Structure 1
Amino acid sequence: MISRLHSLVVETLGKSIVGGELEPGATMHSEHVERELGVSRSVVREAVRVLQSLGLVETVKRIGIRVLPRSEWNLFDPSIIRWRLADAEKGAQLRSLTELRSAVEPAAAELAAQHSPDELAAELMAVAAQMRASGRAGDLQRFLDLDIRFHSLVLTASGNEMFSKLHDVIGEVLRGRTYYGLMPLHPHEEALQLHVDVANAIQARRPEDARAAMDKIMRRTAVEVEQVWVDEPRLYVG
């Protein structure tokens, strides 16, 4: 019960802050949150600690809980990414994430072709084959799970621990594309083949081919979803 109520407070306040209902500088009091959401003081306290760790709020003595500006947010946290993708500004979030992936994932694929342990390379091949089967069958949930696993494996196989820590970020954007109707019912054959090409190049130790195939995946992804952000202004956060 405590866990459910804790999640309720975090989700409610987090979405309100990210969605702009609670603007930077706005203040709240624990007592108000308790009454509004029907939870105890201890639940609010623990939830506020989580929101503080995300850079969304700070507690100020004799003032209360203060909402922080976007410049303080942990923009790489999966919860913030998920809330932003559910908000009106999901286009700007998708653009930022797609550009991040376009910068990182081709480099990760190149490194994976140089450094991946054999067992990871073999698993990547198996996942790519399963993706093709589920994509052709129109099983989008299965395809999504495999797609997340595929890209997570590439990051891990790079041997770069900073890249590997981005797997949750990339998982959220892949889920967002599917949940908000930005994926075709049947993924394109070219996209399915490109995932196989990446896996093949990594297993065959061809770094340039691995980078090139992953770069094509990223460029194709951008073309498929860019209509979502075409009118969204860029965000300049110091």
Structure 2
Amino acid sequence: MFRSASGIVRNLHTQVADRIGTSIIRGEVRPGDPLPSEMKICDMLGVSRPVVREAIRILTGKGLIESRAKSGARVRPPEAWSHLDPDVLRWRLASTDVDAYLEKLFALRNAVEPAAAALAATASSAEDRRAITRAVEDMEAAPDNDAFVEADIAFHKSIYMATRNEMFWPIAQMFEITLRQSFTIAATGDHRKRALAEHRAVMEAICAGDPAAARAATVKLLGNSADDLDRIRSRAPVRSA
């Protein structure tokens, strides 16, 4: 019933939570279904009861299950899950079709990121603007694709943090997990010169305190990023800058 998710695990109860969580995300245990009893999970996975109880506590905190004294643990509907939780994101990535995942990711970014850039233009501190500028400079100086991806992730995270609005910050924190796959794919394209210019345009608008320009530049960047990703995944030629 339980399968291991990819990624680094820290200790035994997180391994158990990893396996159960992945099974839930994959639909192997459906919403409303009960989990096996603690003792059965112990037997299935070869772990102690305290380990299983801690794993159940972890999954309860992430909204995947609810545990009741008499009826045991049951899977909650996806609407109740903590979808921005790093582990839930990781389990989702390990279980979801890449195209469907990327489509949902771009829908989120298109809805939120232009507004975040506009807010960053008026709310960011000097240190925030330095972080955004440094990320662009690191992208331009990146010696390889891995370094480029790291700098690109830092750039987008910095924009959300620069809103100075804690409601945006969880999105920044999820990017370490969610953007890496799409950025790694996109980094192989030959559109980098244009992409760098678009990132710099966003940075310059934020640093100039121009929310309208920051919003417009972000809309352009995201639109071209989605197009580039589609072309790379379909092996079609990417248009030049």
Residues in 2 aligned to 1:207 and 1:124: alpha-carbon distance in whole angstroms: 15
Label 1:216 to 1:87 Cα distance change in 2 as closer, same or farther (>3 A).
same
Residues in 2 aligned to 1:183 and 1:29: alpha-carbon distance in whole angstroms: 46
Work out whether residues 82 and 176 of structure 1, in 8 Å CA contact, stay in contact via their aligned partners in 2.
no
- Say if 2:196 is the partner of 1:192: yes
Runs of 5+ consecutive residues of structure 2 not aligned to the other structure: 1-8, 234-241
* Fraction of identical pairs, as percent: 37
- Say if 2:157 is the partner of 1:149: no
Work out whether residues 34 and 44 of structure 1, in 8 Å CA contact, stay in contact via their aligned partners in 2.
yes
- Say if 2:24 is the partner of 1:17: yes
For 1:90-129, what aligned pairs fall within 5 Å after superposition? 90-129=98-137
**Which whole-Å deviations, capped at 9, do the CAs of 1:142-175 have from their partners, x for residues lacking one?**
2222222111111111222211232122332212
Q: Which amino acid aligns with 1:158?
A: T
> Aligned residue for 1:5?
12
For 1:1-238, what aligned pairs fall within 5 Å after superposition? 3-27=10-34, 28-134=36-142, 137=143, 139-178=144-183, 181=185, 183-184=187-188, 188-225=192-229
Query: What's the secondary structure of 1:76's corresponding residue?
Result: coil
**Which whole-Å deviations, capped at 9, do the CAs of 1:9-60 have from their partners, x for residues lacking one?**
1110111110111222322111121122222111111111111111111123
Report 1 or 2 for greater relative contact order, CA contacts < 8 Å, sequence distance ≥ 6: 1
**Which whole-Å deviations, capped at 9, do the CAs of 1:64-116 have from their partners, x for residues lacking one?**
22122212212222222221122144433332222111111111111111221
Label 1:188 to 1:227 Cα distance change in 2 as closer, same or farther (>3 A).
closer
TM-score under structure 1 normalisation? 0.84
Residues in 1 aligned to 2:94 and 2:190: alpha-carbon distance in whole angstroms: 24
Query: What's the secondary structure of 2:63's corresponding residue?
Result: coil
Q: Which amino acid aligns with 1:221?
A: S
Work out whether residues 201 and 210 of structure 1, in 8 Å CA contact, stay in contact via their aligned partners in 2.
yes
Deviation for aligned residue 1:213 = 1.4
Residues in 1 aligned to 2:41 and 2:231: alpha-carbon distance in whole angstroms: 38
Aligned pairs, number: 224
Deviation for aligned residue 1:131 = 0.8
Query: What's the secondary structure of 1:86's corresponding residue?
Result: helix
Residues in 1 aligned to 2:37 and 2:232: alpha-carbon distance in whole angstroms: 37
Work out whether residues 139 and 151 of structure 2, in 8 Å CA contact, stay in contact via their aligned partners in 1.
yes
RMSD between aligned residues: 2.4
Deviation for aligned residue 1:3 = 4.7
Runs of 5+ consecutive residues of structure 1 not aligned to the other structure: 230-238
Q: Which amino acid aligns with 1:17?
A: I
Residues in 1 aligned to 2:111 and 2:52: alpha-carbon distance in whole angstroms: 39
Query: What's the secondary structure of 2:95's corresponding residue?
Result: coil
Deviation for aligned residue 1:227 = 8.2
Query: What's the secondary structure of 2:67's corresponding residue?
Result: strand
